[in-house]
Structure 1
Amino acid sequence: MSKNIYNEFQIKELEKNPNILSASDRSISYKPEFKIQAVSEYKNGKAPSQIFIEHGFDLELIGKKQPKRCLQRWRETFERFGEEGFLTERRGKGSAGRPTSKQLSIEEKLRKAEAKIKFLEAENGLLKKAGRTRKAGVEEETILNAAEKFSLIEKTIRTHQLKNSVSYLCELAGVSRSGYYDWLKAAPLRVKRDEQDELDIVLIKEIFNNNRGKVGALQIKLFMENDYSSVMNHKKIRRLMVKYNLVTKIRRANPYRKMAKATKEHRTCPNLLNREFNQREPGKVLLTDITYLYYGKGQKAYLSCIKDGATKEIVAYHLSTSLEMDIVYKTLKKLKLAVGNQFHPEAILHSDQGFHYTYPLFQSKVKKLGLRQSMSRKGNCWDNAPMESFFGTFKDLAEYKSFDNLRDVTKEVDRVIYEYNHNRYQWGLNKMTPEEFRGHLIAV
């Protein structure tokens, strides 16, 4: 048995050599006449590699060590059994030879039936591994595509030497005979594509691993274009991720999450935005909210953020172990420092109707900063969707759950928000980072 593993195109190339009976992905069967002649030439002093080259073999394909291994085995068989050992044996073990189809028509039929069983067994094994299903909520149905069926047919024919059973197996698999031959002819193209895929996946894996498996096809495309000056279609990236089993870590919806409820109706503010979050002016629309961060052994922290609706940049944030009003007051203070107290003349601070934002003192501080206050409708998270979206992305990227103290959690929050603002390219920002897009809008 060869130590090489041959693809379907290489197998076809091997079988073109008149000295080969058959070839599979791991083995080559040579004709007895060639073995006898090779042993004779070997005894007369020819090198094994020279013998194989003169008989039309490509050593790069079969392996440079293969001729020597074969000649040593064949010479042992010749010394034990003579020429008869090659004419009536398989692989030098003196076993009975393979009768012709005319001699064993019944046996051939049995072999054909066995091939059918092997084909169906192989098909069933592949079906179990396949992950294709119909729409959710419908009874699961797994199917093979045409290429997989063609591959099964080719492997069955090659393994059981049923070259005259193409039509039978195609009918059994429910594919066309012409389609099968077209698939065989396209083998060199598939090999070439596989070789190119091996080259392309290297950079995709590097970006995927550098981001801890938390980036999808679109994000990888943006990293390739901006950091590696490489262009690749996002559909190809997605195909390669599926092919090489790169599964993006995604957040799961929390079915127990409760929508924020408004308190003190008389202190709520009207919805000035009406979901017009991006008004193409940095600093004009500021969105704010608070999220929970669970870390260590049941410990809880709270992250308050303010996000620019136009640039998607996190302008200010504060992490606290308490939900008291101080968390939003400090966030406002950091916002003032971040903008140098130079707010947009029509700036709006938009939030939900949580008790922090309906509290009179908070509203007073917002007014002193020269900001107009806006609120989502009661119990409607879509009115502050960009903020919710950021928190989802943040929890995908941040690795805070395993930390045991607030100091380490704070460092992780600082790291992720810095990466988000400065290094995370976004499709909706003309493939720029939030910081780059802010500079772009200002320049325009």
Structure 2
Amino acid sequence: MLINHKTVQRLMQELGLTSLVRIKKYQSYKGTTGEMAPNVLQRQFDADQPNQKWVTDVTEFKIKNSQKLYLSTIMDLSNREIVAWQMTQRPVLPLVTDMLEKALARLKPSEKPILHSDQGWHYQHARYRKMLEEQGIVQSMSRKGNCLDNAAMESFFGILKSEFFHLNRFDNIEQLEAGIEEYIHYYNHKRIKLKLNGLSPVQYRTQVLAA
């Protein structure tokens, strides 16, 4: 049974339920633009159609015994869908290039999105930049040390960690990796957003393309 988001909000208020709130832990300062690529995106985190503007970043997860897992993602700003992701236990170059290869496979020949990132070494690497150049993808980079220049991607990582990672315990990396895969599927296909008219990212994309 489908329920309007306003009904959910009213019921939560009547039952005294509240959603988890993510605490913003970062502060921003202006910083400088990198030499590799200008900040083409300029915090314009909206797009009219899919595959116009993408953002990307890497985040780290730590579990017991100091085990680490790194997640690299690309988000489409038209509907906040995670269009490609890759996980590795070390922050190696394939973490980003393998993910990019998956994302590029989704594009039609006429689609040339902006791809925005921070100034991490992965995004400055010659192989990564060559992959973008060969596909005609416009590279955009945040100013140095400025998290807000990539706030949309930072927001997703905050949601993932508050709704999934911090609410569970993991015995090993394989368990964590499987859980992240499951959460991303849920986020893309089932988690509704008010900004998307109460639809999930995939539902919204399907509606836009059918219009």
Change (3 A) 1:440 1:419: same
Answer whether contact 1:343 1:370 (CA < 8 A) is retained.
no
Alpha-carbon deviation of 1:344? 4.9
- CA distance in 1 between counterparts of 2:60 and 2:32 reads 18
User: Relative contact order (alpha carbons < 8 A, sep ≥ 6): 1 or 2 greater?
Assistant: 2
- Tell me what 2:14 maps to: 240
Q: Does 1:419 align with 2:186?
A: yes
**Which one of the candidate residues 328, 341, 346 is aligned to 2:96?**
328
Answer whether contact 1:281 1:441 (CA < 8 A) is retained.
yes
User: Partner of 1:311: helix, strand, or coil?
Assistant: coil
Deviations 1:81-130 (A, max 9, x none): xxxxxxxxxxxxxxxxxxxxxxxxxxxxxxxxxxxxxxxxxxxxxxxxxx
Answer whether contact 1:308 1:315 (CA < 8 A) is retained.
yes
Alpha-carbon deviation of 1:439? 1.1
Deviations 1:209-248 (A, max 9, x none): xxxxxxxxxxxxxxxxxx4345745663353243xxx343
- CA distance in 2 between counterparts of 1:378 and 1:439 reads 36
More helix by share: 1
- CA distance in 2 between counterparts of 1:402 and 1:262 reads 39
Letter in 1 for 2:152: P
Q: Does 1:392 align with 2:166?
A: no
Alpha-carbon deviation of 1:334? 1.7
Change (3 A) 1:354 1:371: same
Q: Does 1:250 align with 2:18?
A: no
Question: What percentage of aligned pairs have identical amino acids?
Answer: 33
Give structure 1 stretches of 5+ with no counterpart.
1-226
Count of residue correspondences:
209
Answer whether contact 1:403 1:409 (CA < 8 A) is retained.
yes
Deviations 1:376-422 (A, max 9, x none): 12222111111011111111222475212221111101100000000
TM-score (norm 1): 0.43
- CA distance in 2 between counterparts of 1:364 and 1:262 reads 24
Q: Does 1:440 align with 2:211?
A: no
Cα root mean square deviation, aligned? 2.6
Letter in 2 for 1:250: V
Give structure 2 stretches of 5+ with no counterpart.
none
User: Partner of 1:302: helix, strand, or coil?
Assistant: strand
1:249-398 residue pairs with structure 2 within 5 A? 249-254=20-25, 265-266=34-35, 268-337=36-105, 339=106, 341-342=107-108, 344-398=110-164
1:10-409 residue pairs with structure 2 within 5 A? 227-229=1-3, 232-233=6-7, 236-242=10-16, 246-254=17-25, 265-266=34-35, 268-337=36-105, 339=106, 341-342=107-108, 344-399=110-165, 402-409=169-176
- CA distance in 2 between counterparts of 1:326 and 1:310 reads 26
Deviations 1:316-337 (A, max 9, x none): 0001111121211111122133
Answer whether contact 1:297 1:404 (CA < 8 A) is retained.
no
- CA distance in 2 between counterparts of 1:343 and 1:286 reads 16
User: Partner of 2:62: helix, strand, or coil?
Assistant: strand
TM-score (norm 2): 0.87
Rg larger for:
1
